[in-house]
Structure 1
Amino acid sequence: KTIIIAVAIALLLAVIMGYVFAQTLTGPILALTRGAKNMAEGNFEQSLKVRSSDEIGQLTSSFNYMASELTKNMSEIYQEKNRLEILLHNMSDGVISFNKDGEFMLANTAATEMLEVDKIDMDFSTFIRNYDINSGVYLDVGTEPSKRVTFPVGKQFISATFTPYYSAAGQIEGLVVVLQDITEQKKLDDMRKEFVANVSHELRTPLTTVKSYTETLMDGAMDDKEIAMEFLGIIDSEADRMAFLVRDLLQLSRFDNKQVLLDITDIEMNEFLSLTVKQNKIHAEGKHQQLTFEPYKEDVVIHGDRDRVGQVVNNIVTNAMKYSLEQATIKIYITEDDIYYKITVKDTGMGIAREDLPRIFERFYRVDKARSRAMGGTGLGLAIAKEIMESHGGKLTAESEYGKGTTMTMWFPKKPPEPPCKEA
């Protein structure tokens, strides 16, 4: 009986000690297991209770430290991801990414706007096909660091740079396409080419005339005084034409290089425009045209360079007379608003077609090229007038209806511009 009781007590103590030992050993391990599972599911903000200072306690402390560091690292990664996303979606350049299988991964807002779509959900092959990018661009670009292709989208021109990105092992992981809108750049390049071509053409014609007439004179035409004087008159006229062209080009070059600085004075426009009409009256009457000016009800004082303002007004009035038929009416009048005095020249001439109107201030642009050259124009007058108006802080605008006439308006600010000095 004593032995049985002793064994029973020993077993009970063993069970109690085993239970206590199990709780002490396996409890923290089970807690660590649950914590690891929670961490695998993305819950890094957790802290386990350290129950002892033995190896299990040290393991729990290490687990808590790891969770804390992971929380901090994930927070930094999340912030960095947000910064990159904000940067990506606020870039002016479009960005599209494809993986190594050609599947679409991401695109920013600029890319959708440039490609004129609401959402990009096409794979690489569809992207290449839809935009007709057939310049040897493939998903596997090989050893090329990048490849650039230009293609049109509507009225825009887009430059696309295809650049691969690689894994740590050096294998291609995918392709990034960077899109840039080069429409304005292409327009400027085209305008530059057109400008050079126009200058060459404008100079070539009088030079050819001068050379041909000079050769004729050298071949014996000098002996006939009447013919010689006629030829010399033509040579003199063509030389003047080239001189006018070079003068206008130099003037535009000075405006471009900010070398034209104005001698600002107060100009009373009622008196100024009345004098302009008197100076041009005889030319208008020669074409049986009616040129009139309606003085404003009160004094109109603008702040400008008298010579430059006169150049603009005379250019516009001369154009109105030049490109209007006989019996046309050319009317000059002044209006105002809170900011500007507006001097308007309205004619009942030939007018300008809708498609030509936005381009009349371009250099060398002529609505009727043959007629303009025959009348001695260089095609630079309105371009110079526009530059002069802008240098005064104003603007020059045009309204027209083909066959019914044109209205040109000079906008002069009421406030004086900043003090400039004279032309360099």
Structure 2
Amino acid sequence: MVSKHDNMSSMKESRRTANTEKSRASFPRFQPRSFGGVFLLSMLIVVGLTVSTTVIVNLAVSPWLLGTHIRDAQLPGVHQAAIDAQVMKHVEIAARTANAIALGISLLIGLGAAIGSSLYLSHQMNAGVSGIVRASKEIAGGNYDTHVEQVSLGEEMAIVVDSFNAMVERLKTTEMHRRRLFSDLAHEIRTPVSVIRAQAEAIEDGIVSIQNSSSIFQAQAERLVALSDDLSLLSRAEEGSLPYHMHRLDLVDIARTAVDSMKVAFSTRHVDLKLDTPSTAISVVADRQRLLQVLANLLNNALHATTEGDDVQVCVTQSKGFASLSVTDTGKGMTADQIAPIFERLYRIEGSRSRQDGGSGIGLAISRQIMVAHRGTLSATSKGLGEGSTFTLTIPTTKA
């Protein structure tokens, strides 16, 4: 139960709080809204304190010190008492006037410098911040063709602007890839769906029977499933969530296994598949199945890039802590413009592999992500169209 004394105390505290809030409202504090205002206010306070202190000290000490020196001066032939009091008064007035003029000029110069520098810095800061705000709004609206101009505000602001512009370029590239991905994905899905639709219409019109169409439906369904699986695999690889079972392996043995598994396919196409490896083992730490997946993709691409009578050579080498495995073909080759996007998802070199072959255009993108997870690389080179291509993977070696 609350006592009467407690109620009175609460009422007094409430009145005290109300009076405090009223007092604060009666004397509002000046709060600058911009960085330039805060900086200007701080400079004015510093200048004001400096000038005030200088004025007080000079007006209080300078006349007394000057008079003391004059009284103590021993002039030849003149007695000390001869120094007229009126002269002393004028000397003191002159000292104060000189100090006042000097301090006034200093004050004007200081204020001018403070205001000028504050306005300049405020303008530069506003230019940088407003540029970032403007660019941010444009990016939020979907416009990635924007950037922020550099301003003269030191290294820190330059780093902020450079980082922001780099982020914009990255977002622009990501958005471009996203749009192209959806466009390519729509095309990839449209092809088998169109085949299924046309076949279904043919069945309805009595042109073909369901029994004769089952294999077509099955093939197109498998193609859609393969595309879905490849996209899922690539997404997991890019996110770093793809499981890896790392063990110490012999890269030479991996190369032999991959080549042996593709010999029949190459022989059927009358393409010569060669293997060049050192006589000793090359030890690496890797996931065996993932490496075989990468090599199978490279060999499969080489097979589709070649024709009867062409050659494909797999070469394994070792140098300076890294092992290299290259797949070189004498097939169609690539231009420089074709090499740049070769590892992007759903990218195909025109004519290199038809969609009817079942390729999704994702294999190289997956392979590169797998090599990144192995702290390695995957690159492509070509001297031009008709000159063949070379795909090379590198991976760190380890002691056997």
TM-score (normalizing by structure 2) = 0.65
SS class of match (1:158): coil
Unpaired segments ≥5 residues, structure 1: 1-12, 43-69, 98-106, 112-144, 151-155, 162-177, 417-424
Match of 1:419 in 2: none
* Helix, strand or coil at the partner of 2:247: strand
Q: Which runs of 5+ in 2 are unaligned?
A: 1-80, 150-160
Q: Report what 1:9 is aligned to.
A: none
Cα distance, 1:149 vs structure 2: 5.8
**What is the count of residue pairs matched by the alignment?**
296
Write out aligned runs for 1:383-422 (5 A).
383-401=365-383, 402-415=385-398
The C-alpha deviation readout for 1:360-401, integer Å capped at 9, x for no partner, is 000011111584313221111101111111111111011112
2:183 is paired with a residue of what secondary structure? helix
Aligned position for 1:204? 190
Give the structure, 1 or 2, with the largest relative contact order (CA under 8 Å, sep 6 or more).
Answer: 2
- Write the distance in 2 (CA, Å) between the matches of 1:407 and 1:30: 87
Deviations, residues 227-254 of structure 1 (Å, cap 9, x unaligned): x443211111111111110110111121
Matched ranges for 1:128-207 at <5 A: 157-159=145-147, 181=165, 182-207=168-193
Say which of 8, 18, 23 aligns to 2:91.
23
Residue 347 (structure 1) shift: 0.9
- Check 1:200–1:393 CA distance in 2 against 1; reply closer, same or farther (3 A cut): same
- CA offsets 1:137-172 (integer angstroms, 9 cap, x no match): xxxxxxxx969668xxxxx932469xxxxxxxxxxx
Letter matched to residue 158 of structure 1: T
The 5-angstrom pairing of residues 10-409 of structure 1 reads 16-42=84-110, 95=128, 157-159=145-147, 181=165, 182-221=168-207, 224=209, 228-368=210-350, 371-401=353-383, 402-409=385-392
SS in 2 for 1:157: coil
RMSD: 3.6
Report if the CA contact (8 A) 1:149-1:160 is conserved: no
**CA offsets per residue over residues 94-130 of structure 1, 9 Å max, x none?**
8399xxxxxxxxx9xxx9xxxxxxxxxxxxxxxxxxx
CA contact (8 A) 2:342 2:348 kept: yes
Structure with greater strand percent: 1
Higher helix share: 2
User: How many Å separate the matches in 1 of 2:276 and 2:93?
Assistant: 107
Give the Cα–Cα distance (whole angstroms) in 2 for the partners of residues 268 and 146 of structure 1.
56
Q: 2:128·2:148 contact (CA, 8 Å) conserved in 1?
A: no
Superposition TM-score, scaled by structure 1 size: 0.62
Which residue identity lines up with residue 411 of structure 1 in the other structure? T
Distance 1:95 1:246 in 2: 45
- Cα distance 1:221–1:387, how it changes in 2: closer, same or farther (>3 A)? same
* Contact 1:346/1:405, CA 8 A, preserved across alignment: yes
Q: Which string of whole-angstrom CA distances, capped at 9 and with x for unpartnered residues, describes residues 37-69 of structure 1? A: 344445xxxxxxxxxxxxxxxxxxxxxxxxxxx
One-letter identity of the residue aligned with 1:334:
V
